[in-house]
Structures are given as structure tokens and as C-alpha cells.
Amino acid sequence: MRTLGTISAGGCVLLATLLASCTIGPEELEAGESAGVASYPSVADLGDASGLDALLPDGELEVAWVRAQDHAESQGVEAVVDDDGDEVVAADDAVLLVVAWQVGLGEPGTPAAVGEATVGDPAVELVLISGGVRTVLSPEEATLVQGSALVAVVDENDVMLEVTFDGVTQSVGPGGEIREVPERAAVLYDEIPTSETSIDCRPAELQPFCRADIAWLPWVASQGWAPDGQLWPVVRVEGRVPGGTGTPSLTTTLDGSPPLEATDTEIGAGRFQQLAIYPAVVPGPEVLRIEAAAGDVSITGRGDLRP
């Protein structure tokens, strides 16, 4: 009779092999690979993180990162786990980072028309590059508005950012000192040209109210990027036809050109509001003309808009 104490040498080898095959170690990421991160941190959650930024048509993109182990310790845990609950480590020739990103929509003082015109669903790709190895964080994995990931990189001190928004790619070198921005996106780093004015609407005896604001933008959701050296005039016009009934019909032109796209908003009897995008131009003085009619009452107006 064989007891447990008399297992043969061959049996010991077999048992050791079986036990080894049942041992599950942490998931290992090679440089260029990424995974979801269970804690879903935001940029603010990463504290004094390293980071880079870029300006996009719909807001400022911020990307931040810390060593994964440092993030784990800040969370009071021993190891970083992915969104499946599995521990993750980097391969021997890589460093594991927790990366977070977000896009801040709009800026204080920016005309409301700007935000409305840039609301869309453009193709966006976010890439981190370290030691020549690319890690793609795609929109399918996480929305660009806010997201996070575990990323294995070659060198945490040599990370550059590359972001492609609707086919136009910007890149920011390590530390942010080197920035490559194509001409179409360069205006994003200048102050957006804007203007607002009262419109001289007539007949004056009706005491009509008319006003407009304009922003010249490099990209709008309905048209994409403007040609190099040009911008899209985005105009919001609003007013009132005194004594008019129903929602007024409204016709507008900018320097004689009708809008490429116009969206009217119903805001009450005799009142009108329209957001219109006109053909791309080199920003300069523009003449806005309007005609509004509500029932048997109509007004016309003219306003000068300057960047």
C-alpha cells in the first residue's frame, strides 16, 4: 500500500507541474499595450502628475499620468488592477503608468454660438509615444471628453502626445516645449475673433429689437475644418418683430452670401433667433443683413460685424 509519504520522485515532478499550471500571475503589459483601470481616475485625481495638453475645436485636451504603483499607494492598495479586477504589471523593459485625459468644453466669455457650432461627433484618436513606441487610446475604448487607462511605456520621462481631430494631427513633445500644429489648427492657440453688435432694424417707428454676435472658427461640426488661412463665420442673430404673430420667418446674408446652414429656434410670438454658418473667409469687416416677417408685419436690418 502506498501512502502520501511514499510518493515516487516521478510523482513529485508531476504534482509540481500541475500546481505550477494552476498558478495565475498578474497580467503583463508590453510597451505600447494598454488596459482599462478599475479606479477610473480623472486628471484631478492624479494629483501632481506629469502631463501634456493641446487645444481642440471643442475645448482644451489635458492628459496626465503617474506611475501605476504610486497611484495604487495613493488609493491605499498594494497593486493596480484593470477593469476586470486582474492585477497588472509592466514587462521588464517597460514602465506602467495610470493615464487620464479630459476635454474642458468652452472657455469663460466664449460666445454661446461657438459651443453650439462645435457640437458633433468627429473622429478623434489619442496617442502616447515613448521611445518610438505608440500606444493608441481610441474613442471605442473611452470617450475623449474624459477617460483613463493603464499604459505601458518605454520611458516615463520621454512621453509625447499626438491627437488627431477630424483628420488634422497635432503633436506635443516631452515637457510641452515642442509643439507641431498644422495651419488649420494654429488659430486655436490665438484668441478666437468675435464681435457683437446691435442691428439697425427698420421701420424705426415699430421700435424693433435686433442684435447679433459672430465668431470666426477653424472648425464647425457641419462643415469640418476651414481651408488653410480661412475661418467659418458663425453668426447668432435674435430679435423681435413688434405686433407680429407666430414665429417670424427669417432670411439672413453675410456680405451677400446666404448661410451654408441655419438653425432657427422658436422662442415666442414675434420673436426670432437663428444660428447660421456662412462660407469660409479671411476674417474682416462683414455686413449682416436680415429680413424678418411675422404675419403681416415685417422688418429689415443691417449690422456691421468686425473681428
Say whether both 63 and 32 belong to one domain: yes
Of 164, 182, 200, the residue at which a domain comes to its end is 182
Q: Are residues 171 and 199 in the same domain?
A: no
In a domain, 3, yes or no: no
Q: Final residue of a domain: which of 160, 182, 204?
A: 182
Asked whether residue 72 is domain-assigned, the answer is yes
> Mean pLDDT lowest for which of 208-212, 257-261, 266-270?
266-270
The region that residue 175 occupies, defined by phi over 0 for left and psi between -120 and 50 for alpha, beta otherwise, is left
- The answer to whether position 283 is within a domain reads yes
Residue 201 lies in a domain: yes
- Same domain assignment for residues 218 and 265: yes
Average pLDDT (128-156) is 86
Whether residues 230 and 104 fall in one domain: no
Q: Is the pLDDT confidence value at 61 over 90?
A: yes
Which carries the bigger pLDDT value, residue 109 or residue 112?
112
- Lowest model confidence (mean pLDDT) among 8-12, 198-202, 212-216: 8-12
Residue of higher predicted confidence among 107 and 285: 285
The verdict on 238 and 119 lying in the same domain is no
Range among 11-25, 104-118, 253-267 rated most confident: 253-267
The pLDDT assigned to 9 comes to 42
My answer on whether 238 and 267 are in the same domain is yes
Q: What is the DSSP letter of 257?
A: B
Residue 258: cis peptide before it, omega within 30 degrees of 0: no
| 51 and 86 belong to one structural domain | yes
133 and 201 share one domain? no
Q: Do both 263 and 175 map to the same domain? A: no
Q: What percent of the chain has pLDDT over 90?
A: 71
Which residue range is the domain that position 226 belongs to?
Answer: 191-305
Q: State the pLDDT confidence band at 51, using cuts at 50, 70 and 90.
A: very high
Percent of the chain with pLDDT over 70: 87
CB 29 within 8 A of CB 90: yes
Residues 124, 173 within the same domain? yes
In a domain, 301, yes or no: yes
**Band of the pLDDT at 110, cuts 50, 70, 90?**
low
* CA gap 232, 89 in Å, rounded: 48
175 and 41 in a common domain: yes
**Mean pLDDT, rounded, for 214-229:** 95
Which residue, 135, 163, 182, sits at the end of a domain? 182
Question: What's the confidence (pLDDT) of residue 2?
Answer: 30
At residue 25 the predicted structure's pLDDT band, cuts being 50, 70 and 90, is: low
Structural domain count, the chain: 2
Residues 212-240: what's their mean pLDDT?
A: 95
Q: Within a domain: residue 13?
A: no
d(CA 239, CA 91): 64
pLDDT exceeds 60 at position 10: no
CATH number for the domain that contains residue 278: 2.60.40
State residue 187 phi and psi, 5-degree precision. Answer: -65, -20
Residue 18 lies in a domain: no
Chain mean position to CA 166: 11
The answer to whether residues 72 and 144 belong to one domain is yes
C-alpha to C-alpha distances, 103 to 42, 46, 144, 145, nearest whole angstrom: 11, 16, 7, 5
Q: What pLDDT is recorded for position 106?
A: 59
Contacts 24+ apart (CB under 8 A), 167-175: 167/123, 167/224, 167/225, 168/225, 170/54, 172/52, 172/53, 172/54
Is residue 65 assigned to a domain?
A: yes
Q: What is the pLDDT of residue 18?
A: 39
